[in-house]
Homo-oligomer: A and B are copies of this chain.
């Protein structure tokens, strides 16, 4: 097909008619597909089948000889913290283990900051007339939802291939109302970018107007490679300490997409001062996390390279699905100029950029074919993409055949929406 931009109105009309015929044919297949969320597939969860019978009879003692079944231990087991020390880029004593959700740890840090303040701050954030958070866009809707629910004003910062646009960040962070910033530094959700060393270092050392400014460093995809390459992300805790701002970052991660999405372990890593702060509040909230699930994970991952082999298993299941999407997009949309998309080296998403004003229409058309997509706008603060342009594709959960069918639908719907837009132009 010639590029849409080169087609005459007459040709566009006949193109559209042909696309609509293909759409009707797809509709008649009665598909029921869901690409809304970055959920692991059942086959991925099967990789951690061993967890379902662990820790095993009479196996409830920690390395320290404590009973993991009983109360206590707000920081989490030392052996779990040691096991994930490398992933988190922090010594075990600067790590806390939570329950099954790193989002919950981010939420709790936000809440403690709002109600109690953070080290280096003058007062609880909720006492400020206004608080702002920098939000690289496209970004993660659940981060944005936390800001929105607690009334934190979100400021969008454009992403670049090396991370957030640092000129904008360095300018905006001088505003003392800016108290925090969301970062998914590796295989960013949904753009797939990994922050360059220079980006991490500038984030670590930049002059912030608020003395208690925090980077909410959600390293959700630290191990989630889709290729043989390893990005070697700069350690933000070390960069911040070297820049004399050790308390700036709070690092979050989890095994939700390593072991079990709903029954994994969440982690927080931070400076000694931040960790004391976090544990002080977490210890008021609860007597401690589920240590038996921690023991279960230690037993399951105890063999050398167990983590690496597990992630290799995920890659083998995920990479073909990502390839199916990008191959299909290329086959249907290639040369049309109707869209561009990412070919991520890790993480859980493909970002599809359609012509301005078309994203909502693509989602609507896809729904008409039985495909549920992440709503247009979900990638932006307040659910509003001002250009109505970005779509997050989540190919992990459906089967490979379903992903292929879904990609076909998405590509076709994109082409239809783009053709309609050209005709209106």
> Interface on A for B, CB 8 Å cutoff?
37, 39-40, 42, 45, 48-49, 52-60, 67-73, 99-101, 103-104, 107-108, 111, 114-116, 126, 142, 145-146, 149-150, 256, 260-263, 281, 284-293
Given A71-B262, A73-B262, A142-B287, 12 more A-B residue pairs with CB atoms under 8 Å apart are A52-B59, A53-B56, A72-B262, A99-B289, A101-B287, A107-B285, A114-B115, A115-B150, A145-B284, A262-B288, A262-B290, A290-B293
**A-B pairs with lowest CB-CB distance, top 3:** A263-B292, A101-B286, A104-B286
- The complex places the Cα of A137 from the Cα of B227 at a distance, in Å, of 62
Closest CB-CB distance, A54 to chain B, in whole Å? Answer: 8
Closest CB-CB distance, A32 to chain B, in whole Å? Answer: 15
Closest CB-CB distance, A214 to chain B, in whole Å? Answer: 18
Chain B residues lying within 8 Å of A37, measured Cβ to Cβ, are 71
Q: Which of B53, B57, B100 contacts A57 (CB 8 A)?
A: B53
Closest CB-CB distance, A219 to chain B, in whole Å? Answer: 18
Closest CB-CB distance, A395 to chain B, in whole Å? Answer: 16
- The complex places the Cα of A95 from the Cα of B388 at a distance, in Å, of 39
Closest CB-CB distance, A107 to chain B, in whole Å? Answer: 4
**SS class of chain A's interface: helix, strand, loop or mixed?**
loop
- The residue on B at minimum CB distance from A263 is B292
In the bound complex, do residue B290 and residue A99 qualify as a contact, i.e. CB atoms below 8 Å apart?
yes
- The residue on B at minimum CB distance from A106 is B285
In the bound complex, do residue A290 and residue B100 qualify as a contact, i.e. CB atoms below 8 Å apart?
yes
In the bound complex, do residue B39 and residue A70 qualify as a contact, i.e. CB atoms below 8 Å apart?
yes
Given contacts A55-B52, A71-B261, whether A107 and B293 have CB atoms under 8 Å apart is no
In the bound complex, do residue B126 and residue A115 qualify as a contact, i.e. CB atoms below 8 Å apart?
yes
Closest CB-CB distance, A147 to chain B, in whole Å? Answer: 10
- The complex places the Cα of A100 from the Cα of B286 at a distance, in Å, of 9
- The complex places the Cα of A214 from the Cα of B365 at a distance, in Å, of 47
Given contacts A101-B287, A149-B284, A260-B69, whether A52 and B42 have CB atoms under 8 Å apart is no
Chain B residues lying within 8 Å of A262, measured Cβ to Cβ, are 68-73, 287-292
Given contacts A292-B262, A293-B293, whether A103 and B69 have CB atoms under 8 Å apart is no
Closest CB-CB distance, A270 to chain B, in whole Å? Answer: 19
- The residue on B at minimum CB distance from A68 is B262
